Amino acid sequence: MENLAYLDNAATTFPKPPEVLDFMMEFYSTHGVNPGRTGFDLAIETEETIISARKKIMALFGGTDFNRVVFGLNATDALNLLINSLLSDGDHAVTTTLEHNSVLRPMHYAENHRGVEVDYVPFDKKGYVNPGDIGAKIKDNTKLVIVNHGSNVIGTIQPVEEIGAICRSKGVPFAIDSAQTAGVIPIDACKMNIDVVCFTGHKSLMGPTGTGGMYVCEELEIVPNRSGGSGVDSASKTQPGAFPWRMEFGTPNTIGIAGLLKGIEWIEKKGGIGAIYGHEMELTRRLVEGLSSVEGVILYCADLAENHLPVIAFNLEGMEAADVGTMLDVDYDIACRTGLHCAPLVHEGIGSTDIKGTVRFSVGPFNTEKHIERAISAVTEIAEFAAKKA
């Protein structure tokens, strides 16, 4: 474990800060009760921790009302709730070919089972979507535009402010999937014309798995397609209309939300998202520089001069991505991700579908220069092996 070079932070950041783990254990040992369901002191104190987390996330996304921070399982859960609540028979939606399956699969279901029409806007050879192309797809019955803020495969960050301005001018709700960007890239929902920010807690927000949700701007009304216990207005047969209870169902992941709160506080303690992003991109630039010098390496959309995450996809000529990943793991103790990364249309766009995807290195806050140099050296040796085998 001590020798592991973990370069799979786009899947989940690892390790988590010790402060997060310690706080979760202490909190659940002393406040492991159900928040917001009764009035004794301990339950009220537990609910105050949940409220503190809402406030932190609201501020992180430039929000105006912490009650409109809605907690769920993760970004996938939030995206499903949003898509299935806003779209119905006869509606139209616009998204992109950069999306994760957390958007593609519920959109596919909406198309095939609920009578929704969906347009998928492609990205260019550098990995970016043209805002005008999205605007051109909007129709009178368009009820949602949803865009992946930062690709989990090729790392490109989309011009969401420009896309949001187009949607705002046409009166169409605009949502972003911030699974890869929340906690590492500034997001100001008001300034960027974003109506809904769907987020996950276990990646760059440094929280545990099983946390996430959405921030819903005040102008957008959503009638959820779920209902259940909320702890308020229990005599009513319908879901409460006020946020957050309108969009939250059942007992929340209290220990997870507490960990998420501490994760955001850890980010603040380290100088904020700008400082962390600067560290990660410095290492990523060295990684790209090193990989670019290795004969046989194919890099995808790795021009770091433009908006980019610390995520790099590559292949080695003559080898399948899965085999490279196995060698990195077994022979070099380097953890990475291989395959289609739950984003099949991205691989269609970059031409890696037939070769079963790519190898992905994703840098996190705990990576060091030694990790990067080991990765470059390992890929160099594997490339030499592949050349000899050919």
Please answer whether residues 49 and 257 qualify as being in contact, where contact means their C-beta atoms are separated by less than 8 angstroms.
yes
- Using CB atoms within 10 Å of the CB of residue 51, give its burial: 0 to 12 exposed, 13 to 18 middle, 19+ buried: middle
| CA dist list (Å): 238 to 87, 147, 224, 232, 270 | 20, 31, 11, 11, 44
| Long-range own/partner contacts, residues 286-289 (CB < 8 A, 24 or more apart) | 286/369, 286/372, 286/373, 286/376, 287/312, 287/361, 287/363, 287/372, 287/375, 287/376, 288/312
Buried b (16+ CB within 10 A) or exposed e, 259-286: bbbbbbbbbeeeeebeebbebbbebbeb
The yes or no reply on domain 18-269 and CATH 3.40.50.150 is: no
Please answer whether residues 301 and 154 qualify as being in contact, where contact means their C-beta atoms are separated by less than 8 angstroms.
yes
Q: How large is the angle between the packed helices 369-389 and 321-332, nearest 10 degrees?
A: 120
What is the per-residue pLDDT for 1? 59
What is the per-residue pLDDT for 236? 82
What is the per-residue pLDDT for 390? 67
pTM: 0.96
Q: Would you state the structure tokens that stand for residue 242, as one six-digit string?
A: 């006020």
Cross-strand bridge partners of residue 197:
176, 215
Q: Could you tell me the mean pLDDT of each successive run of 10 residues in the chain, 390 residues long?
A: 90 98 96 85 92 98 97 97 97 98 98 97 98 98 98 98 98 98 97 98 98 96 83 78 87 96 98 97 98 97 94 96 97 98 98 94 98 98 87
What does the alpha-carbon distance between residue 365 and residue 270 come to, in Å, rounded to a whole number?
10
Same fold, 5-15+271-389 and 18-269: no
CA end-to-end span of the chain, whole Å? 34
What CATH code would you report for 5-15+271-389? 3.90.1150.10
What is the per-residue pLDDT for 214? 98
Nearest to 253 by CA among 79, 77, 102, 106: 77
Nearest to 376 by CA among 320, 332, 310, 319: 332
What is the per-residue pLDDT for 237? 78
3-class SS string, the chain: CCCCEECECCCCCCCCCHHHHHHHHHHHHHHCCCCCCCCCHHHHHHHHHHHHHHHHHHHHCCCCCHHHEEEECCHHHHHHHHHHHHCCCCCEEEEECCCCHHHHHHHHHHHHHCCCEEEEECCCCCCCCCHHHHHHHCCCCEEEEEEECECCCCCEECCHHHHHHHHHHHCCCEEEECCCCCCCCCCCCCCCCCCEEEEECCCCCCCCCCCEEEEECCCCCCCCCCCCCCCCCCCCCCCCCCCCCCCCCCCCCHHHHHHHHHHHHHHHHCCCHHHHHHHHHHHHHHHHHHHHCCCCEEEECCCCCCCECCEEEEEECCCCHHHHHHHHHHHHCEECEEECCCCHHHHHHHCCCCCCCEEEEECCCCCCHHHHHHHHHHHHHHHHHHHHHC
Domain ranges of the chain: 5-15+271-389, 18-269
